[in-house]
Amino acid sequence: MATRQPLIAGNWKMNLNHLEAIALVQKIAFALPEKYFAKVEVAVLPPFTDIRSVQTLVDGDKLLLRYGAQDLSPHDSGAHTGDVSGPMLAKLGCTYVTVGHSERREHHGEDDDLVNRKVRAALKHGITPILCVGEQLEVREQGGHVEHCNSQLIAGLKGLKAEQVRDVVIAYEPVWAIGTGRVATPADAQEVCAALRARLAEKYGDEIAGGVRILYGGSVKSGNIGDLVKQDDVDGALVGGASLDGEEFAKLCALA
Ligand code: PEP
């Protein structure tokens, strides 16, 4: 069976200026001993304006923390006012970028086709996309959650070769659990993460599916991470609110 290194990624959303970013990264680095990073990979995903400061700190102090962005343009350059491209993020040393977060799907009208183009743009520039999928409450209540997530998964990965899929991280984030304090039960998280892996196996083979990391996201905290990551198909977490508090985030990472 493939061994998958757990990943805990902190999505800061539109919070913290670059000075606050430095303070938070210092807190996290201070709280987590170096040996911890051999076991679990930890990443922060600050707003674009903070990335250069985070890079300077990580490089300067040789921190083992990874960092990335919350979005990218499907284009490499050109007349796309306000957008930030894959080459720009790659130049800043970004390891990860979230793609298709439900807030972008909902507030910016991002559809599966655009999400897919962003996934491909990230891979083209050597950045690992964290492809977010997840159902709204009504979909879950009607029992359509697995089908919905599998459909977003396949659409997001469209056109990729199996070897490329190996380099993608998937985040199962039920929309009703994001920022609500209503975390999915470990069994609910496992049900969807296992279904996503099974769908990957069907399309790309067992070997690829067994190596892809699938995270759970939605109201994760130090008090609930332990039971979530005990699930066979949950390989870590995408953490929003709780990633803004250095002590809480480090505690949560230590329990993963
Ligand atoms: C997120 O925004 O990806 C998220 C999971 O948020 P929260 O942890 O605050 O629910």
Domain locations in the chain as residue ranges: 7-254
Instruction: Give domain 7-254's CATH superfamily.
Output: Aldolase class I (3.20.20.70)
Is 108 annotated in the active site? no
Residue 222 near residue 242 (C-beta atoms within 8 A): yes
- Of 220, 222, 224, 228, which is best to mutate to test ligand 1, by the most ligand atoms within 8 angstroms of its C-beta? 220
Distances (CA, A) of 251 to 9, 91, 101, 176, 243: 13, 31, 25, 25, 10
pLDDT in tens, 141-192: 999 999 999 999 999 999 999 999 999 999 999 999 999 999 999 999 999 9
pLDDT in tens, 33-76: 899 999 999 999 999 999 999 999 999 999 999 999 999 999 99
- The residue whose two tokens read 């913290």 is 16
First to last CA, the chain: 20
User: The whole model's pTM is what?
Assistant: 0.97
| CA nearest to 227, candidates 182, 169, 188, 170 | 188
Is 173 annotated in the active site? yes
Ligand 1 contacts (CB < 6 A) are: 11, 13, 173, 178-179, 217-220, 238-242
Instruction: Given the residues 110, 145, 173, 247, select the one marked as catalytic.
Output: 173
Q: How confident is the model at residue 1 (pLDDT cuts 50, 70, 90)?
A: low
